[in-house]
Amino acid sequence: MSDGSTTSTTGATTSTLPPSVSVRGVRASYGRIEVLHGVDLEVPAGSVFALLGPNGAGKSTLLKVLSGRMRTTAGEVLVGDVPIGKTPSEKLARQGICAVPEGRGIFPNLTVRENLRIWTYRGGITMKDVEEQTYATFPVLKERRRQLAGTMSGGEQQMLAISRALVTRPRVLYLDELSMGLAPLIVAELYELVGTLARQGMTIVLVEQFVTTALAVADHAAIMVHGRIEQQGTPSEMADAALSIYLA
Ligand code: ATP
């Protein structure tokens, strides 16, 4: 279609172009404890946005809200000009809004192929397509295809987790701590892929504890402290700000 839109298997019409993500006055709580106290963010379409901040600031919680894994108590999230409302994560994934959660979200007791097969159940994609796409992006996973996912290296498990998200050819991708527990060389490889995905046309929001790594790939960045966005701007503007906040 000339306007870049397609009709998905769910019947919803979605654009194939990357949309912007707007977060407006979002509040969220665990039980009675509020941890997001009115978050506002504008993530431009097709950009890489790095969300930085100290431990416990609420970064992972915000990604949970953005990807439909947690409800807000106030405010709204829009993808393009469409509010995601209470849409659950599985449905958002079918609309091309996907997350690679902290802790990876793969099935450790299944082989790589079995993990891939499970993801075809989201519909609209064959095992052949999933395997071709995955092995083209991460050739090492082809060698590991009969291995239990939980016995692979941390980097290989992260590759499998990313593959899971890429299966639906997302327009929006949320990445939580890609670098968690990984060697620097693997981290560099994964972030190179993030840059490539963004250039291919994807809106990416990433949470990352390694500030320099995140700012190297990001177009925009924000610093979150105590459940609020403290500052946002260009990576160079945020580099000094991040340093003072982390050292404070
Ligand atoms: P980190 O970088 O350490 O992962 P973060 O910025 O991602 O931190 P969150 O994980 O979003 O922060 O946590 C924000 C606050 O919410 C913290 O005070 C945390 O203890 C609390 N919290 C997170 N998950 C839960 C949960 N499942 N139940 C209760 N409180 C939680």
Condensed to tens digits (0 to 9), the pLDDT of residues 147-194 reads: 999 999 999 999 999 998 888 789 999 999 988 888 888 898 899 999
Pocket of ligand 1 (CB under 6 A): 30, 35, 53, 55-61
**Ligand 1 atom nearest to 63, measured from its CA:** 11
Give 62 Cα–ligand 1 centroid separation in angstroms: 10
pLDDT at 1: 34
pLDDT for position 240: 82
Q: How does strand 172-176 pair with strand 203-207?
A: parallel
Taking CA atoms only, the protein residue closest to ligand 1 atom 25 is: 30
Q: Return the pLDDT at 115.
A: 93
Non-local CB neighbours of 142 within 8 Å, separated by 6+ positions:
131, 134, 135
In the chain the domains, ranked by start, together with CATH numbers, are: 15-96+170-248 (3.40.50.300), 105-168 (no CATH)
The Cα 181–Cα 163 span in angstroms is 19
